[in-house]
Amino acid sequence: MDWNTLFLLANTIVMPAWFLLWLAPSSTLTQKLIYSYLYPMVLGLGYTVLLLLSFAKAGSFDAEAFSTVEGLQAMFSSPGALVAGWMHYLLFDLFVGMWIARDALRLSMPRWVVFLPLFFTLMAGPFGLVLYLLIRWRYTRSLTY
């Protein structure tokens, strides 16, 4: 399988989870697949395998590469590392989206209010989280759980 196909596959696989969070956050299917952590676990295992394969192909792991922009750029110059990094984003954004959806359910917030924060969490992770926290504060006057 080529890297572009794997990239497209990762993007495709994550979308059903987002649709469930947007359209049916309290459904049994969402409970069993998403909130049970089954879905993120499967994605995480795929990411882990890809990451280990990337390190094995590179022959070593350079922890210092994380300390400079040039090091990170070199690390992500290989297609395998780039796809692994993208999967990292997809998985963590989904995990944050899961938290947002569950927290909104717990607070009985309307689905339409949570749609944009979830959308922006998928597209620009931290921005979506900040947007949700501001909306959450508006509803609860608290940022604590």
Q: Give me the chain's average pLDDT, please.
A: 90
Model's pTM, two decimal places?
0.88
- What gap in Å lies between CA 33 and CA 10, rounded to an integer? 17
Average pLDDT rounded to a whole number, residues 126-130? 97
pLDDT given at position 39 = 87
Query: What are the two backbone dihedrals, phi and then psi, of residue 118, each rounded to the nearest 5 degrees?
Result: -65, -45
* 117 vs 48: which has the higher pLDDT: 117
Q: Which residue has the tokens 């339409």?
A: 112
Closest CA to 76 of 47, 51, 59, 94: 51
Q: Is the confidence at residue 102, as pLDDT, over 70?
A: yes
